[in-house]
Amino acid sequence: MPVLLPEIDRTAPLPLATQIAGFYRRAIEDGRMRTGDRLPPIRTIAEACDVTRATVQDAYRRLAAEDLVAGTVGRGTVVLAQASATSSSDAARPLSPYAEAALLRSQEMSGAPPLPPGRALVANFAELAPDGARFPVAEWQAAMDTVLQQRGASVLGYGHATNGLPDLRALLAERTREVDAAITADDLLVTAGAQQALDLVLRTFCAPGDAVVLTSQSYHQMHGLLRAHGLQSIGVPFSENGIDLDVLERALRRQRVRLVYLMPTFHNPTGRSLDERQRHALMDVVARTGVPVVEDEYQCSLRVRGEPPPTLRSLDPRGLTVTVFTASKDLFPALRIGWIAGGSGLLQPMAAVKRFMDLETSALLQAALVEFLRAGHFDRYLGALRAELRVRHDALQRACRQHLPPGSTITAPDGGYVAWLELPKPGQGDRLAELAVERGVRVVPGRVFDLHGAPSRGVRLSLTRADRTQIEAGIAVLATCARELLASPAAARPFL
């Protein structure tokens, strides 16, 4: 068995011993460590994680107090029978593994190195959250006023359908039919954003110890969410040729695979999309199994050119795919409104689970969104946003063609906010992020998105905050840094 070393987050508000104990507890509970397996020697962990031996001893003592492990002469610390894992006492473990994992990852919001003090910003390519300066504040206020005048107290109480207001679902279904022609209002479940939708999907389809297949680089909050649920992640490569179907096929055959998570359009972090042919080929492979798919279409409405391909859901003859949408990227995130499209056999259990989570999504905000859509504010706002995004994508491609040195590549998405700049060797992307921020350009290092936090070739560039001029200036800086990295092997040391 490979040595499992704990992941430590020194910025997390959780003592190091608790983090180490929590890591091995999860490993035991989700089956990565089995009865009789040896925990690494205390010295190994102390050295690898740069903590004192006393800290590791403290962590092992806690695990022993919970009957998860025991020290044995000659064999070190070994995992006890799994049955005792479930009998661990509450007194010894005040926080659930879910809460511990969430606490551990509560700091991982951006992942981009901060600008050094006094350094002027040249370009901010780090933020994926849309730019507040563009938000349609006055129009939203008008929609809220109309709702309160017309619907009054009826939108301020409990008692609305857990799956969402019927008039909102009807309007959302109409818009969703662009990518999923057969969808109706009954096929939608309104959620508190895409994040709740993803959590809901995991709660509905997976149990601790199960495995989820996803692209090797993925939305970083999903990594934390999977771990919090005690789920294993199995990575499949996603290149310009699409998802590696051979690897996918093998991954789907593995034990306890319960879900596939994909972003087929404007993938985070690379901006890549699967074209229609690739979607059909992918679903041919998946449809031979009974594994459900969740596709995260978090920014599919931000297309700036070309026709949208169909959703994976619409290509799944088994009816085992659900699609997650959100208003966070094409409107504003504080709305906390997303929606899941799926057949009733999947939506019903999800609605039941959601009821335990929050009873219902805010009826006030749902009703205001209905007004906002009916008044035409959304289409006007989205039209202007897409026009600006198109200018920015064009500026990005132009600047990259002009400045980037040979050996570096940039993806060319047909929309969405993100693109992926890649250098030839692992670690060079992470180094690039370090060098660039010293010169006023913020990008997110690729390792943030890697399933295992491995050194990355790439960086994610987001276009939410950089206008055309900043894009040109920012890419010129990134190109200079890339040239230095490519010329000097020493500068390419892996980012730690």
For binding to ligand PLP (CB under 6 A), which residues are involved? 128, 193-195, 219, 263, 268, 296, 298, 326, 328, 333, 338
Nearer of residues 19 and 191 to ligand PLP, judged by Cβ: 191
Shortest reach from residue 311's CB to ligand PLP, in Å: 15
DSSP string, 120-168: PPSEE----SPPGGG--HHHHHHHHHHHHHHHGGGGTSS---TT--HHH
Say which amino acid occupies 30: D
Shortest reach from residue 202's CB to ligand PLP, in Å: 13
Crossing angle between the packed helical segments 16-29 and 97-104, to the nearest 10 degrees = 130
d(Cα 429, Cα 443) in Å, to the nearest integer? 10
Shortest reach from residue 326's CB to ligand PLP, in Å: 3
Shortest reach from residue 239's CB to ligand PLP, in Å: 19
Q: Which helix (H) or strand (E) holds 460?
A: strand 458-462
Nearer of residues 466 and 477 to ligand PLP, judged by Cβ: 466
Question: Nearest CA to 182 among 345, 341, 370?
Answer: 341
Q: How many CB atoms lie within 10 A of CB 348?
A: 14
Nearer of residues 21 and 350 to ligand PLP, judged by Cβ: 350
Shortest reach from residue 33's CB to ligand PLP, in Å: 30
Shortest reach from residue 337's CB to ligand PLP, in Å: 8
The C-alpha angle 291, 293, 298, rounded to 5 degrees, equals: 165
Nearer of residues 333 and 429 to ligand PLP, judged by Cβ: 333
Shortest reach from residue 361's CB to ligand PLP, in Å: 12
Any idea of the CA torsion for 435, 438, 439, 444, to the nearest 10 degrees? 60
CA-CA-CA-CA torsion sign (236, 237, 241, 247): negative
Q: Is 247 exposed, middle or buried (0-12, 13-18, 19+ CB in 10 A)?
A: middle
Shortest reach from residue 100's CB to ligand PLP, in Å: 22
Question: Nearest CA to 450 among 293, 271, 270?
Answer: 270
Nearer of residues 217 and 326 to ligand PLP, judged by Cβ: 326
Cα-based distances in Å from 342 to 178, 278, 295 = 15, 21, 11
Q: Are 235 and 226 in contact (CB under 8 A)?
A: no
Nearer of residues 66 and 297 to ligand PLP, judged by Cβ: 297
Nearer of residues 416 and 427 to ligand PLP, judged by Cβ: 416
Shortest reach from residue 459's CB to ligand PLP, in Å: 16
d(Cα 255, Cα 210) in Å, to the nearest integer? 8
Q: Is 367 exposed, middle or buried (0-12, 13-18, 19+ CB in 10 A)?
A: buried
Nearer of residues 331 and 482 to ligand PLP, judged by Cβ: 331
Nearer of residues 325 and 495 to ligand PLP, judged by Cβ: 325
